[in-house]
Structure 1
Amino acid sequence: MKKILLVDDERWVRTALKWTINKLNLPLQVAHECQNGLEALDWIKVNEVDLVLTDIRMPIMDGLVLVKELSKLNGSYDVIVISVHDEFQFVQQAIRSGVTDYLLKPIEETELKACLEKWLNEKGNEEKAIKNTFSEKENLPLSTIERVIEYIKKTPLDQITLKEAAESIHINPSYLSQLFKQQLNKKFVDYVTELRIEESKRLLQNTTLRMSEIAERVGYSDLAYFSNNFKRIVGSSPSEFRNIKSKTSAGKLNKR
């Protein structure tokens, strides 16, 4: 069952879309609804989703900005944008940004079904190709992972993305994501997050850099997102961690 995120500022549109998707009896489930791009971006950062179905015109953060921001995250996201006929120039921009498909309002049930079935078929073919690669090249996965880890070691943490890592060894991002899960028993994004948190701990303990500077150095443009990730993994906020380590160091010096 594939998970869908619905993003539209009009509640009745989201309700109608959800009702229609459920009616289609496809292997799809609406996992969550958001009313603007920023809300969707925050949700995606801590949840998994297979497909984002988003309107283009929304307050706070529109669909085009959402697509651009998703491309910066450590993940590969499929997006279908929704627009009206007189906004087709925005659809063209979205297509250039790499969206999977588009739908025009008012959305007909047959068009929605055709669009979703097309996406499901493409995902199915992609997953089959990945499985075939595993079976045909049994010795490839481990050496590929080693090459990616070497790439990660040589690349500044604020520049690492799944897409760039995959391109560095000339493979598909989805395939690389599968390799990480199979070989290291963790997702690519989790592996990179652990490295970022470890480096931030070192900087907090050994430098006087501000929190925002440390967050940027390890690859977080959003200070709140950095702090939340840090606390989730370490068990304390960055400032609490720095204070604890400072007191510990001071105590050791006093004992001498």
Structure 2
Amino acid sequence: MHSILIVEDERWVRTALRKTIEKTGLPFKVVHELTNGVEAVDWLSHNEADMVLTDIRMPVMDGLALIEEIQRRKHMIQVVIVSGHDDFSYAQQAIRLGAFDYLLKPVETESMAACLHKWLEEQEREKVGKQENLPLDLKEISSIERVIRHIDSLSVPDLTMTEAAAMVHLNPSYFCKLFKQQTNINFTDYMTSVRMKEATRLLEKTSLRISEIAERLGYADLAYFSNTFKKSVKVTPSEYRKLKP
């Protein structure tokens, strides 16, 4: 069984998260529950967990500060953020800081299971990599694939090349060359394609205004977003919405 530490200031949310984890049927158990980041840092100084499931907004020390403190202390623990819709910008910051994933409240069993499955798969890949003592070129390929999986897992893709390179401990310039070599597309174009895919989904599935979609995807200039969308999809966002089924 893999161990999870829950850090959340509201008791009913902690209970709901624990029950949701149990409902997945996956080999995870909650080993402890705490109410803020300071308590978590103290607990981790004398105990171990495979994953930390933490809220963002908490008294004393919030989730973002907790991630930074875990990294500073070099704990080898993956952190999953749990946040409300109003905390979305915080969730983005958490991903930039190196959070493994984030889940939106209320956390559904399906979302929790997908997150835990992803963690298990990554652990298995790392285990196989260590066992096979991968040569450098295959390790580099694995690094690019890890970045791609991370980008594809984001509801709103917002990652700079420097941040992506830092994730896999590579020089940004070298990372850029590796990414193009592995995917036949440069990093910036790949990010744009992922954003445009999300834009089409939002246009089809939500009633958000086009300006809201642009902002959600990190485009401060609506005209630039529309031009980028048209270049990718061949029609403007408003035209695409009219054409959707």
TM-score by length of 2: 0.54
Q: Secondary structure at the residue paired with 1:3?
A: strand
Quote how far apart the aligned CAs of 1:74 are: 3.1
| 1:22 CA drift (Å) | 1.4
Amino acid at match of 1:133: N
Residue number in structure 1 paired with 2:47: 47
Give 2:129's aligned amino acid: A
**What is the TM-score when the length of structure 1 is the normalising length?**
0.51
Aligned to 2:92: 92
- CA–CA distance in 2 between the matches of 1:75 and 1:66? 11
Root mean square deviation of aligned Cα: 2.1
Once the two structures are superposed, residues 139-196 of structure 1 have per-residue CA deviations (whole angstroms, 9 ceiling, x without a partner) of: xxxxxxxxxxxxxxxxxxxxxxxxxxxx9xx89xxxxxxxxxxxxxxxxxxxxxxxxx
Counterpart amino acid of residue 67 in structure 2: V
Give the corresponding residue for 2:33.
33
Note the residue ranges of structure 1 that are not aligned, 5 or more in a row: 137-166, 172-256
* Equivalent-residue separation in structure 2 for 1:74 and 1:116 (angstroms): 22
Percent of pairs with identical residues: 51
Residue 4 of structure 2 is aligned to residue 4 of structure 1: yes
Counterpart code for 2:27? P
Describe the SS at the equivalent of 2:133: helix
Shift of 1:75: 2.5
Correspondence for 1:110: 110
Structure 2: distance between partners of 1:86 and 1:23: 26
Distance in 1, matches of 2:123 and 2:83, equals 23
List gaps (5 residues or longer) in structure 2.
Answer: 136-165, 171-245
CA distance in 2, matches of 1:87, 1:62: 12
Give, as a single letter, the amino acid of the residue that structure 1 aligns with 2:88.
F
Over 3 Å off, 4+ runs: none
Q: Secondary structure at the match of 1:88?
A: helix
Q: Which amino acid aligns with 1:95?
A: I
Distance 1:107 1:23 in 2: 12
Deviation readout 1:186-228 (Å, 9 max, x if unpaired): xxxxxxxxxxxxxxxxxxxxxxxxxxxxxxxxxxxxxxxxxxx
CA distance in 2, matches of 1:82, 1:53: 7
1:62: Cα distance to partner?
Answer: 0.5
Structure 2 CA distance for aligned equivalents of residues 25 and 75 of structure 1 = 27
Q: 1:80 aligns to what SS in structure 2?
A: strand
Number of the residue aligned with 1:131: 131
Give 2:56's aligned residue: 56
**Greater radius of gyration (CA):** 1
Partner letter of residue 27 of structure 1? P
Structure-2 separation of matches of 1:103 and 1:20: 12
1:1-256 matches, within 5 Å, as: 1-133=1-133
The number of aligned residues is 139
Q: Which amino acid aligns with 2:110?
A: T
